[in-house]
Amino acid sequence: MGLSSNLLVIGLIAVAAISFVNQSFAQSTSTPTYARVEIWALFYRLMVIAFVVGALVLGVIGYIVWRFRESHPKNRVPTREPLEGGHH
């Protein structure tokens, strides 16, 4: 579970970086209005990526907390009876 989510995050970051570099160097026919529109488009695209990554991280944290909670049956430590004559 951890490796696949790490690869997904790395992939999303790589796509965002490639998109940013591609758009920043492809400004040969840009006017100020067009550049402003492209900057906002990039901002919204990166915000979508940030929300997706945040949702994934929140889901993984929620799963870890739910799976390894103290009351989970697999995580309960069996209690031992004190030995005869044992001190409390």
Reported as a single tens digit per residue, the pLDDT across 13-56 is 777 777 776 666 665 555 667 878 888 888 898 899 999 999 99
Of 26, 24, 65, 27, the C-alpha closest to 42 is 24
Provide the pLDDT for residue 58. 94
Give helix 32-67 / helix 2-25 axis angle, nearest 10°. 170
Residue 62 has pLDDT above 60, yes or no: yes
pLDDT at 87: 60
CB atoms within 10 A of CB 19: 15
Per-residue confidence (pLDDT) for residue 85, from 0 to 100:
63
Domain parsing of the chain, residue ranges:
2-24+33-71
CA 48, 49, 51, 56 torsion: positive or negative?
positive
* pLDDT at residue 38, as a whole number: 85
